[in-house]
Amino acid sequence: MNILDKIVNDKRVEVNLRKQLIPVEQLEQSVLFERQTVSLAKRLRESNTGIIAEHKRRSPSKQVINHNLNVFDVAKGYENAGVCGMSILTDGKYFGGSLDDLLTARSSCKLPLLRKEFIIDDYQILEAKAFGADAILLIAAILTRDEIKQFSEFAKQLHLDVLLEVHNEKELHKSIMPSIDMLGVNNRNLKTFEVSLETSKQLSELIPNDFVKVSESGISNSEAINILQPYGYKGFLIGENFMKTVNPGESASQFIKDLLS
């Protein structure tokens, strides 16, 4: 069993527990449920930097990244730096995140927020909406084509953007459908954890231009973005690079200055 299988098994147990604790009706009564969402895809299309900055405390591949930062300050810092959007890991067991992080970031900034989670149930999409997200992540590696269709269409009904993440050509082919806004190519091999920008390059020509192309993982300098932009990428998800510093907002600001200089 690989790490992704383990995470998904634990997630099923967790989601079933959460459903018992907080019924759907309660989520739908959240103050934020009626909030007008901001399109991350639109922001990326219009941007010349395309940075989606991430809040992530730890990961299975790197263990602790940063446990000392306050989400409120990180979100504020990212917004001041001029990023296009913010990705927030809400998985607790493996990434040290929570839905409260999403709520805190929402109260701190006006950026489009992506709930980065292992979504395996409609309930988690309702949670994303109720806690202030503007977009959700779907991971092709853990979903069937029917599930991708079901979850992405449900997200669209709630006015949430959908970022669909793929790792290879097979996952990409089962994922192309009108209810997806952004197609993300993860440069990290899930089996070996090795990272290579070649993955983004190779898959770029197979992604129709109707979708906003996003490259994820392994983007640690502005040169990587300069390499990928000619391949049609408009979005670049950067987490570790900013989060491992004392001031992620300042790091993001410097990164964007370098990129534009």
Catalytic machinery residues: 54, 56, 116, 165, 186, 216-217
| Tokens 């992604």 belong to residue | 207
For the chain, the residue count is 261
DSSP assignment letter at 55: E
CB 136 within 8 A of CB 153: no
CA distance readout (Å), 227 to 91, 168, 230: 31, 20, 7
CB 136 within 8 A of CB 114: yes
CA distance readout (Å), 118 to 1, 6, 8: 17, 11, 7
Q: At what angle do helices 145-157 and 122-130 cross, to 10 degrees?
A: 30
The contacts of residue 83 (CB under 8 Å, 6+ apart) are 49, 51, 52, 53, 111, 252, 256
Please name every residue paired with 62 in a beta bridge, in sequence order, or none if there are none. none
Question: 221-227: long-range contacts at Cβ-Cβ below 8 A with a sequence spacing of 24 or more?
Answer: 221/255, 221/258, 222/255, 222/258, 222/259, 224/197, 225/49, 225/50, 225/259, 226/259, 227/197
